[in-house]
Protein backbone atom coordinates (compact mmCIF):
# COMPACT_ATOMS: atom_id res chain seq x y z
CA UNK A 1 0.00 0.00 0.00
CA UNK A 2 1.07 3.59 -0.54
CA UNK A 3 -0.35 6.85 0.77
CA UNK A 4 -0.61 9.27 -2.13
CA UNK A 5 -1.63 12.91 -2.06
CA UNK A 6 -3.59 13.85 -5.16
CA UNK A 7 -3.33 17.23 -6.87
CA UNK A 8 -6.57 18.14 -5.13
CA UNK A 9 -4.93 17.63 -1.73
CA UNK A 10 -6.91 14.49 -0.94
CA UNK A 11 -4.83 11.59 0.40
CA UNK A 12 -5.74 8.15 -0.99
CA UNK A 13 -4.40 4.65 -0.43
CA UNK A 14 -3.11 2.99 -3.62
CA UNK A 15 -2.32 -0.68 -4.13
CA UNK A 16 1.28 -1.50 -5.03
CA UNK A 17 1.72 -4.72 -7.02
CA UNK A 18 5.50 -4.73 -6.54
CA UNK A 19 6.60 -7.22 -3.86
CA UNK A 20 10.32 -6.42 -4.15
CA UNK A 21 12.32 -3.95 -2.08
CA UNK A 22 11.76 -1.19 -4.70
CA UNK A 23 15.30 -0.01 -4.02
CA UNK A 24 16.24 3.02 -6.19
CA UNK A 25 12.62 3.57 -7.26
CA UNK A 26 11.05 4.62 -3.97
CA UNK A 27 11.29 8.28 -3.06
CA UNK A 28 9.04 10.08 -0.61
CA UNK A 29 7.46 13.18 -2.09
CA UNK A 30 8.07 12.13 -5.71
CA UNK A 31 5.32 12.47 -8.28
CA UNK A 32 3.49 9.25 -9.04
CA UNK A 33 0.92 8.06 -11.54
CA UNK A 34 -2.14 6.09 -10.42
CA UNK A 35 -4.86 4.27 -12.33
CA UNK A 36 -8.43 4.17 -10.95
CA UNK A 37 -10.03 0.79 -10.23
CA UNK A 38 -13.78 0.30 -10.58
CA UNK A 39 -14.07 -2.90 -8.59
CA UNK A 40 -16.40 -2.85 -5.56
CA UNK A 41 -14.72 -5.98 -4.20
CA UNK A 42 -11.34 -4.24 -3.89
CA UNK A 43 -10.51 -2.19 -0.81
CA UNK A 44 -8.22 0.22 -2.64
CA UNK A 45 -9.61 2.27 -5.53
CA UNK A 46 -6.26 3.06 -7.16
CA UNK A 47 -3.27 1.09 -8.47
CA UNK A 48 0.21 2.61 -8.35
CA UNK A 49 1.60 2.49 -11.89
CA UNK A 50 4.81 4.56 -11.97
CA UNK A 51 6.98 7.04 -10.10
CA UNK A 52 9.03 10.01 -11.28
CA UNK A 53 12.70 9.55 -10.38
CA UNK A 54 15.08 12.24 -11.62
CA UNK A 55 14.12 13.20 -15.16
CA UNK A 56 12.19 10.06 -16.03
CA UNK A 57 9.40 7.70 -15.04
CA UNK A 58 9.89 4.22 -13.59
CA UNK A 59 7.19 1.60 -14.10
CA UNK A 60 6.61 -0.27 -10.83
CA UNK A 61 3.46 -2.22 -11.72
CA UNK A 62 4.70 -5.82 -12.03
CA UNK A 63 1.57 -6.93 -13.89
CA UNK A 64 2.42 -4.74 -16.89
CA UNK A 65 5.52 -6.48 -18.37
CA UNK A 66 3.79 -9.80 -19.17
CA UNK A 67 1.05 -8.14 -21.21
CA UNK A 68 3.57 -5.76 -22.75
CA UNK A 69 5.91 -8.51 -23.92
CA UNK A 70 2.96 -10.51 -25.27
CA UNK A 71 1.77 -7.57 -27.39
CA UNK A 72 5.31 -6.73 -28.51
CA UNK A 73 5.94 -10.30 -29.66
CA UNK A 74 2.69 -10.29 -31.63
CA UNK A 75 4.00 -7.24 -33.51
CA UNK A 76 7.59 -8.52 -33.88
CA UNK A 77 8.84 -5.61 -31.73
CA UNK A 78 11.48 -7.48 -29.70
CA UNK A 79 14.82 -8.26 -31.31
CA UNK A 80 15.48 -11.99 -30.99
CA UNK A 81 11.82 -12.91 -30.53
CA UNK A 82 10.41 -12.29 -33.99
CA UNK A 83 8.57 -14.57 -36.42
CA UNK A 84 6.27 -16.43 -34.05
CA UNK A 85 2.73 -17.01 -35.32
CA UNK A 86 1.14 -18.72 -32.30
CA UNK A 87 1.76 -16.80 -29.07
CA UNK A 88 -0.01 -17.70 -25.84
CA UNK A 89 0.12 -16.49 -22.24
CA UNK A 90 0.29 -18.52 -19.02
CA UNK A 91 1.19 -21.93 -20.46
CA UNK A 92 2.04 -24.90 -18.23
CA UNK A 93 5.21 -26.93 -18.77
CA UNK A 94 5.76 -29.88 -16.43
CA UNK A 95 5.11 -28.47 -12.94
CA UNK A 96 5.61 -24.81 -13.86
CA UNK A 97 3.67 -22.11 -15.66
CA UNK A 98 5.51 -19.82 -18.06
CA UNK A 99 4.46 -16.30 -18.94
CA UNK A 100 4.55 -16.90 -22.69
CA UNK A 101 4.73 -19.87 -25.06
CA UNK A 102 5.42 -19.10 -28.71
CA UNK A 103 5.40 -21.37 -31.75
CA UNK A 104 6.50 -20.84 -35.34
CA UNK A 105 8.71 -22.59 -37.87
CA UNK A 106 11.36 -23.51 -35.31
CA UNK A 107 11.32 -25.06 -31.83
CA UNK A 108 8.65 -24.10 -29.32
CA UNK A 109 9.82 -21.14 -27.24
CA UNK A 110 9.02 -20.59 -23.56
CA UNK A 111 9.55 -17.06 -22.23
CA UNK A 112 9.74 -16.09 -18.56
CA UNK A 113 9.36 -12.33 -17.97
CA UNK A 114 10.92 -10.45 -15.04
CA UNK A 115 10.22 -6.84 -14.10
CA UNK A 116 13.34 -4.70 -13.54
CA UNK A 117 13.30 -1.39 -11.67
CA UNK A 118 16.63 -1.39 -9.82
CA UNK A 119 19.25 1.13 -10.99
CA UNK A 120 22.76 1.13 -9.54
CA UNK A 121 25.19 3.52 -11.21
CA UNK A 122 23.35 3.47 -14.51
CA UNK A 123 23.15 -0.33 -14.59
CA UNK A 124 19.75 -2.03 -14.48
CA UNK A 125 19.86 -4.96 -12.07
CA UNK A 126 17.74 -7.91 -11.01
CA UNK A 127 16.65 -8.91 -8.44
CA UNK A 128 16.20 -6.11 -5.90
CA UNK A 129 15.59 -8.68 -3.14
CA UNK A 130 16.36 -12.38 -2.67
CA UNK A 131 13.99 -14.37 -4.89
CA UNK A 132 13.60 -18.10 -4.35
CA UNK A 133 10.77 -18.03 -6.90
CA UNK A 134 13.11 -16.56 -9.50
CA UNK A 135 15.70 -19.21 -8.70
CA UNK A 136 13.10 -21.93 -9.35
CA UNK A 137 12.21 -20.39 -12.70
CA UNK A 138 15.85 -20.64 -13.78
CA UNK A 139 15.89 -24.35 -12.93
CA UNK A 140 12.73 -24.88 -14.99
CA UNK A 141 14.15 -22.99 -17.98
CA UNK A 142 17.07 -25.42 -17.95
CA UNK A 143 14.57 -28.28 -18.10
CA UNK A 144 12.98 -26.65 -21.15
CA UNK A 145 16.37 -26.70 -22.89
CA UNK A 146 16.85 -30.34 -21.94
CA UNK A 147 13.63 -31.06 -23.85
CA UNK A 148 15.21 -29.50 -27.00
CA UNK A 149 13.04 -26.37 -26.88
CA UNK A 150 13.97 -22.70 -26.73
CA UNK A 151 14.13 -21.10 -23.28
CA UNK A 152 14.24 -17.31 -22.89
CA UNK A 153 14.51 -15.17 -19.77
CA UNK A 154 13.37 -11.66 -20.64
CA UNK A 155 14.14 -8.84 -18.22
CA UNK A 156 11.69 -5.98 -18.85
CA UNK A 157 13.56 -2.83 -17.79
CA UNK A 158 10.93 -0.19 -17.03
CA UNK A 159 13.23 2.85 -16.84
CA UNK A 160 15.46 4.76 -19.26
CA UNK A 161 18.15 6.13 -16.93
CA UNK A 162 20.21 2.93 -17.38
CA UNK A 163 22.40 1.83 -20.29
CA UNK A 164 23.24 -1.80 -19.48
CA UNK A 165 22.02 -4.76 -17.46
CA UNK A 166 23.59 -7.11 -14.91
CA UNK A 167 22.44 -9.54 -12.22
CA UNK A 168 22.46 -8.12 -8.69
CA UNK A 169 25.01 -10.57 -7.30
CA UNK A 170 25.43 -8.57 -4.09
CA UNK A 171 21.71 -8.95 -3.36
CA UNK A 172 21.13 -12.57 -4.39
CA UNK A 173 24.35 -14.47 -5.20
CA UNK A 174 22.43 -17.74 -5.56
CA UNK A 175 20.35 -16.22 -8.33
CA UNK A 176 23.47 -15.14 -10.23
CA UNK A 177 24.95 -18.63 -9.80
CA UNK A 178 21.81 -20.23 -11.19
CA UNK A 179 21.67 -17.68 -14.00
CA UNK A 180 25.21 -18.57 -15.01
CA UNK A 181 24.30 -22.26 -14.98
CA UNK A 182 21.16 -21.64 -17.03
CA UNK A 183 23.06 -19.68 -19.69
CA UNK A 184 25.70 -22.41 -19.88
CA UNK A 185 22.85 -24.81 -20.69
CA UNK A 186 21.65 -22.55 -23.51
CA UNK A 187 19.02 -20.42 -21.80
CA UNK A 188 18.88 -17.06 -23.60
CA UNK A 189 18.73 -13.76 -21.70
CA UNK A 190 17.18 -10.64 -23.23
CA UNK A 191 17.33 -7.38 -21.21
CA UNK A 192 14.57 -5.39 -22.98
CA UNK A 193 14.21 -1.70 -22.15
CA UNK A 194 11.01 0.33 -22.44
CA UNK A 195 10.25 4.03 -22.01
CA UNK A 196 7.40 4.31 -19.50
CA UNK A 197 5.32 7.49 -19.51
CA UNK A 198 1.80 8.43 -18.43
CA UNK A 199 -0.36 7.26 -21.32
CA UNK A 200 2.25 5.23 -23.21
CA UNK A 201 4.95 2.57 -22.99
CA UNK A 202 7.42 2.69 -25.88
CA UNK A 203 9.97 -0.06 -26.67
CA UNK A 204 13.57 1.20 -26.66
CA UNK A 205 15.60 -1.91 -27.43
CA UNK A 206 17.82 -4.62 -25.99
CA UNK A 207 20.41 -3.53 -23.42
CA UNK A 208 23.96 -4.95 -23.29
CA UNK A 209 25.32 -6.67 -20.20
CA UNK A 210 27.35 -4.31 -18.03
CA UNK A 211 28.90 -4.51 -14.57
CA UNK A 212 28.96 -8.04 -13.10
CA UNK A 213 28.44 -9.29 -16.62
CA UNK A 214 27.21 -12.84 -17.02
CA UNK A 215 29.01 -14.48 -19.91
CA UNK A 216 27.22 -16.91 -22.16
Q: Region 184-209: what's the mean pLDDT?
A: 95
User: For residue 165, what is the domain's CATH number?
Assistant: 3.40.1350.60
Instruction: Give per-residue pLDDT as tens, 113-146.
Output: 999 999 999 999 999 999 988 898 999 999 999 9
Residues 6 or more apart in contact with residue 100 via CB below 8 angstroms:
66, 69, 70, 73, 87, 88, 89, 91, 110, 111, 113
Same domain, 86 and 31: no
- The model's confidence at residue 209, banded by pLDDT at 50, 70 and 90, is confident
**How many domains, the chain?**
2
Residue 214 has pLDDT above 50, yes or no: no
Same domain, yes or no: 8 and 94: no
Full-model pTM: 0.91
Domain extent for 180: 64-206
Region of poorest pLDDT, from 68-77, 92-101, 123-132: 92-101
Percent of the chain residues topping a pLDDT of 70: 97
Q: What is the mean pLDDT of residues 171-185?
A: 95
- Here the CATH number for the domain that contains residue 46 is 2.40.50.580
127 vs 68, 75, 137, 168, 173, CA distance in Å?
20, 28, 13, 6, 10
> Is 6 part of a structural domain of the chain?
yes
Task: Tell whether 11 and 48 lie within a shared domain.
Answer: yes
Amino acid sequence: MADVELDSGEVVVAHCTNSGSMKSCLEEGARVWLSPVNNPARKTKFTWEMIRIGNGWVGINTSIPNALVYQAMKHDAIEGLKGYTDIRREVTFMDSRFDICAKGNGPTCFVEVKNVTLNEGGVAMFPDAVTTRGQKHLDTLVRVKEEKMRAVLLFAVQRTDVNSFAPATHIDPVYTEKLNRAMQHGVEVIPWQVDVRPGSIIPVGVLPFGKNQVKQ
